[in-house]
Structure 1
Amino acid sequence: MAAAVPACHATRPRRVLGSVPNHDLPRYLQRARVFVLPSHYEGHPKALLEAMACGLPVIGSDVPGIRELLHHGETGYLCPPSPDGIRTAVELLLGDAALRHRLGQQARQYVLDHFALNRIVELELAMLHAVAAGRSQP
């Protein structure tokens, strides 16, 4: 990764941080204008949820795992998993501060509504009760 930084023709200096402790993540994420998750497949993309929880506008490849979390144009921006698709999405969001702000706010609210600790506990308990009762789903 560090070797690729000079090749990106950045106008400002960049540095690769490496591993960042969890408690420091919000501080770093909130310094960004956009979070991008270019991927061909994701199971449950926690990095995407962390960025959304910090109120960042997010761009994700339109692939399984990401498309289930991002509602295009509402909680984030889905794009084709190609360099051109990602570039187009990044240019769109970097060029529209109002859109970035709206997507970031809605992304944060989505995470608070669907992934807050009390909500996850509710879902886990419902699943355990369903299993104990012999049902496959709550």
Structure 2
Amino acid sequence: MEFVLAFVAAFIAACDAYNFAPLDVEPCVSGGEFAEIATPYCEAGKECKAGAGSRFQLRFTGMNRERYPLYLSVWADVRSINHPGDSFVYSSNCQSEWTNYPCVAQPGRNVTGYVAIKIPSSFKKSLTRIFFNVDGIGCGSMHIWVS
């Protein structure tokens, strides 16, 4: 247990060391909107980039607008625009490796969390669309360049 807590603390410190820039995210047709979604891999007004074999880090903030607590999980559908075969689904829960967010979102409260989506080494250079969802908190899609 102490190792897990030390790992989570180190992950938070590492994430906070990056300069997270807000992302322009297309909201979902249905579902909540994030108060903020950010990554250190985008420069203001420029494109976002990720390397094949690396982790694409995201920080999200959103509110539980329900009247009851929500058990949180995160998933992302990652699809190459140029190479449809380079697609995968990422999922995590609050106790997964390279994630940090509350397991339960209380009603009317904001939650903030971090995830790091592993881009496979075999992923080809391309424009890639990520549909990102945190159950009950927010969802949206964004484009990044994978190189």
Q: TM-score, normalised by structure 2?
A: 0.22
Higher strand share: 2
Greater helix proportion: 1
Point out which structure has higher relative CO (alpha carbons under 8 A, 6+ apart): 2
TM score, norm. by length of structure 1: 0.22
